[in-house]
Structure 1
């Protein structure tokens, strides 16, 4: 069966990129091809803001190479968008005509607002942040947005980016101290114009290649045990650490630095200086990386046209629906497991054996619905597969630490298995947190046992403390013997965590 495909070409001031999305069985589009060319078109804008012929030739040559790919994939739906380098060019009409005459593509030049808006749209549809400041520093422009309650409040596009900052302030491959002082003074003068930016105390969310490279450098430097950079969090000290690391290297060392693309070695320091200054101005200690950016924003808008809805109501729910389809989750069964887990947890809370916050209940609901997801691959080692899948797949709306918590709870088999899974991430948690997640994992496992035959027979669960025994009374609407067998087999995990004997009594 022929797969549905969709492509976007993003003509930036530093790089030109072709991304092909393919619709998977869950109905979502995922990246299947990602081709990049470092063109540095901004370098070919002369003093009169005319893109010189050499720059136009590089653009056309790059698009012709992309054309080979799009023709091979027989793509008909291709969006070709351009940002600052073409937008700022006085001869943009010539550029558009030349591209249209010599390639398969027609360029749409994005306005400053559109470029900022698409970055914001990508962030609110793929991260858990409801309010924040986004920064997308490209080669020739820098877009800043402020969103609150997932709605865009303010935006601004500055006509400078990492390439123009490098050209204006840094003469050689790496900056001198005096040059950095001048650059910082310039950034203060520019960003201080935005009164709505100061002291917001919200996360700064970085979009684009420079932000991604900073995150990758930090992950390599600290030997981060997790794969992927989307939704990666850094604090102010982490950003300072990367800045110091970059400034301690000469240019040849920068080119070989793990996590840094060689073609960004000469522009990464001014980019990080932008992030440092903005964090200081916003008065935030949080920097988050969104791997989703302008291209994804264009894509979201295109894909949601028929729904008249560009901002998803709930990012986590969207992600869960994708997981449910990808791994054939029985939604009715998942609902009943979740319900039983909630009933057990609330009963334990009522007698003071458990204390959960709102965030814990959200985790409990999601982990219960995803419990034993790994059986899609192999039933015998389903717990192992569940942990691997959930901890290694990007789940939009879940930060990295949160993803590990969900993976630990949804894959709970026994305490030993839990300890092995958490070993790489143990420093992320306190002992009390780990004890709580182990107990919640045992509760979910018990809730799963109560629906062992997937007949959804449990109607009510009540708890009573009788001397040194916890007695759960479980009302069922049908014969419960298979469920009872599983419960008796698995209740030891709950007993170990509660440090009490547990008894389950079934009745109709």
Structure 2
């Protein structure tokens, strides 16, 4: 795309949102502006499915306020999409004409399939889940998809959402016990129609504002030590605990609950009831949050037109490419550090000193490629910056625990710094896991030293044990003295973890 900026307006049944994307130095578009208006258009859809004039007026007024922003940014490429409230309106032609005549925008009404498909695209392009069930509950519709091996298998769009459920079943601000019983009975009747949901035992992945609020509330409730909600995972018990919390509060207390948007206080309970029943039906213990949703799906489709790449080949590789561009990573150097780290780990495995599974291999490759990334900010305190950057930046394709593991290994300086960095997250790991990640961090540090001059001179590494001493034989294609000097300084970290003496022998 030739433009520097691009915008999407999402006309939902509960909220209307303008998101502006700006092209960064890597050539990709990142979100730069996000403007939200609570319009609740679904509330103006009468029994004859006519969107009343008051609702149309609110829509026009909101779009005119967005128009001031889009004109300021001189935007021409603006996608304006509408979902259930406009899709279900029998007077949708009148709505489209009113918007076209009174604003700069032209509405595209998304079909049920398009709305579900965009949610699925957002999830498979920004999370590590290869198979799962997505649920996107809006104000006037609920989209469910089942994807397997990153391919969409089934989808369904229900013509109800949090606003219509609230209107249909809950008279006051908070539901009575009888109202909850009726709501649960209705949800069971509706969702049980989808036989392909039964006992899938796959993660339920929530999309949209209600799912995001649930994750935010839980993070506040447990004083979660990590930043961001994208790819946050809750257990079934976690969801039940928050549901019990909601039902124990007065409405005024619910409105003040940390993590909950005040404008969602009266509709969060119907949303959580949807999540609870779907988890039971699917027989899953995992509820995950995808902060990426419909708008991101539209964007992925738009920016990959003509390339047949609406599903990215590998989410983590895409994320690594973004990090490499943002922090000026030397890719050739990163490749050689990663190769040396893998060679050393495989040699130690042969000696029975290390045991890695497929996931550990992936962690080692990524961490070694990102090692010392913080030098982009300041070389003197690069390890500190590396840990901060990797643990506080959302990295698509990595769940939160995984991100901490990568940050710990990629920022390894010594055992004491490792312990300080992991202190907030220590309860996430076993002692054996921490010992393994400390050793892998030490291996990466040695691998980094073996390319100290960035000449990529190491060709082979072999390790053998002689009289309780680990002898590393390193074959190089050029003079290796600078590398030898650095390795002699850093080998102590491997010695401490393995409790063995280490000797390096170089030849060329």
Counterpart position of 2:120? 120
Deviation per CA, 1:292-331: give whole Å up to 9, x if none: 0000000000000031221000000000011111111111
Counterpart position of 1:395? 395
Counterpart position of 1:209? 209
Deviation per CA, 1:223-245: give whole Å up to 9, x if none: 00011000000000000011011
SS in 2 for 1:474: strand
- Distance in 2, matches of 1:485 and 1:336, equals 18
What pairs with 1:191-230 in structure 2 (closer than 5 Å)? 191-230=191-230
* Coordinate RMSD, CA, aligned: 0.7
SS in 2 for 1:173: coil
SS in 1 for 2:195: coil
Give me the TM-score of the superposition, normalised by structure 2: 0.99
Deviation per CA, 1:217-263: give whole Å up to 9, x if none: 00000000011000000000000011011111111001100000000
TM-fit CA distance, 1:43 = 0.2
Counterpart position of 1:135? 135
Does the alignment pair 1:238 with 2:244?
A: no
Counterpart position of 1:414? 414
Counterpart position of 1:60? 60
- Distance in 2, matches of 1:27 and 1:149, equals 29
What pairs with 1:479-494 in structure 2 (closer than 5 Å)? 479-494=479-494
- Distance in 1, matches of 2:316 and 2:251, equals 42
SS in 1 for 2:133: strand
- Distance in 2, matches of 1:266 and 1:85, equals 19
Counterpart position of 2:371? 371
Q: Name structure 1 gaps, 5 residues minimum.
A: none
- Distance in 2, matches of 1:31 and 1:477, equals 46
- Distance in 1, matches of 2:334 and 2:404, equals 20
SS in 1 for 2:491: helix
Deviation per CA, 1:442-478: give whole Å up to 9, x if none: 0000000000000001011011100121100000111
Counterpart position of 2:188? 188
What pairs with 1:14-25 in structure 2 (closer than 5 Å)? 14-25=14-25
Counterpart position of 1:451? 451
Counterpart position of 1:173? 173
TM-fit CA distance, 1:53 = 0.4
- Distance in 1, matches of 2:3 and 2:344, equals 45
SS in 2 for 1:305: coil
- Distance in 2, matches of 1:217 and 1:3, equals 38
Deviation per CA, 1:174-228: give whole Å up to 9, x if none: 0011101100000000000000011000000000000000000000000000110
TM-fit CA distance, 1:91 = 0.5
Deviation per CA, 1:53-92: give whole Å up to 9, x if none: 0000000000000000000000000000000000000110
- Distance in 2, matches of 1:186 and 1:364, equals 49
Counterpart position of 1:6? 6
- Distance in 1, matches of 2:308 and 2:431, equals 47
- Distance in 2, matches of 1:24 and 1:228, equals 21
Give me the TM-score of the superposition, normalised by structure 1: 0.99
- Distance in 2, matches of 1:476 and 1:50, equals 76
Deviation per CA, 1:331-379: give whole Å up to 9, x if none: 1100100010001100000010000000000000000000000000000
TM-fit CA distance, 1:96 = 0.4
SS in 1 for 2:312: coil
TM-fit CA distance, 1:496 = 0.4
- Distance in 1, matches of 2:3 and 2:402, equals 33
Following TM superposition, the consecutive aligned residue runs of length 4 or more in structure 1 with deviations greater than 2 angstroms are none
- Distance in 1, matches of 2:473 and 2:106, equals 68
- Distance in 2, matches of 1:496 and 1:309, equals 47
Does the alignment pair 1:328 with 2:362?
A: no
- Distance in 1, matches of 2:200 and 2:458, equals 48
TM-fit CA distance, 1:3 = 7.3
- Distance in 2, matches of 1:28 and 1:391, equals 22
Q: Name structure 2 gaps, 5 residues minimum.
A: none
